[in-house]
Amino acid sequence: MLRQRVITALALLALLLPALWVASPLPFALLSLGLISAAGWEWARLNGIDASAGALVTGGLLALLCAASLSKLAQVGQTSGLWWLATACWLLGGGGVLARGPAAWSKLPSLIRWILGMAGLWLAWLAMAQARSIGTHFLLSVMCVVWTADIAAYFCGRAFGRRKLAPTISPGKSWEGVCGGVAGVLMLGLGWLWLESTLSLDSPSFFLLLRQRLGLGGLALSLLLLAGLSVIGDLFESLVKRAAGVKDSSGLLPGHGGVLDRVDALLPVLPAALALISL
């Protein structure tokens, strides 16, 4: 299993890094379109659209919606109100769904669940494309917040985890793991700022922009918010999978599960990051 995970991760990096570092944002936008389309296909299958044609249509519609938005990115993507609305929906709506549990999610009409997923995936892709237009360094710094929170939470949870965070949704997660993830994100921010002061990069990082706008205290509070949102995104997808009775969103990424399994925590964090830098 570990060998399979490593091979898949290396293959993804071989596609992702060249597309991310070229001067034009278009290659990365097109690659991410393929991934978000696959995530839409997975979402449809997890939420009652069992027919293969229906799930494929969902993935295609999501790709078309994102592609249509690309030409309007400068107008739509720079609207800070859109990012704040998305963040509020994740905090209030996502928190409400988690509080009610998998059984309540299954009782929602399939159409409502389908619409919610399409909206969340579209907004996350739009935020990612907007972040890439700001700069590769900026986008990577936001994504590293999620990756660091996930890795630190995993190891701290394994070492110190005692109190379960959400046993009916994801029994493996603990409050100690969450605290470790938050600590990891705060350390990442400080380390990144130090490193950034010694290098010349294509764009300011998310951390630098927040420190310039809000100071170190505001940066710390913002990182706490993003770490919390990454947990909400992760738990939300776990809830949907539990309601559907499956372990992974699909088998598209051998050793990793599906695309949704890899991007779940990014879905609320990307719009929130753009909302925060608008302050």
pLDDT in tens, 73-104: 655 556 788 899 999 999 999 999 999 999 99
pLDDT in tens, 21-32: 777 777 787 888
**Residue 5: what pLDDT?**
65
Q: Helix, strand, coil shares of the chain as percentages rounded to 5?
A: 80, 5, 20
Closest CA to 236 of 95, 84, 75, 63: 95
**Residue 51: what pLDDT?**
61
- Tell me the chain's radius of gyration from C-alpha atoms: 18
What are the residue ranges in the chain where pLDDT is below 50?
none
Check if the beta carbon of residue 102 is closer than 8 Å to that of residue 46. no
**Residue 174: what pLDDT?**
93
Distance CA 226, CA 232 (A): 10
**Residue 135: what pLDDT?**
85
Distance CA 181, CA 85 (A): 25
**Residue 6: what pLDDT?**
67
**Residue 23: what pLDDT?**
72
**Residue 192: what pLDDT?**
94
Most distant CA atoms of the chain, gap in Å: 54
**Residue 275: what pLDDT?**
94
Which pTM does this prediction carry? 0.91
Check if the beta carbon of residue 219 is closer than 8 Å to that of residue 273. no
In this structure, what token pair is assigned to residue 92? 């209030």
Domain extents in the chain: 2-277
Sequence-ordered strand ranges (E) for the chain:
164-166, 170-174
Check if the beta carbon of residue 216 is closer than 8 Å to that of residue 266. no
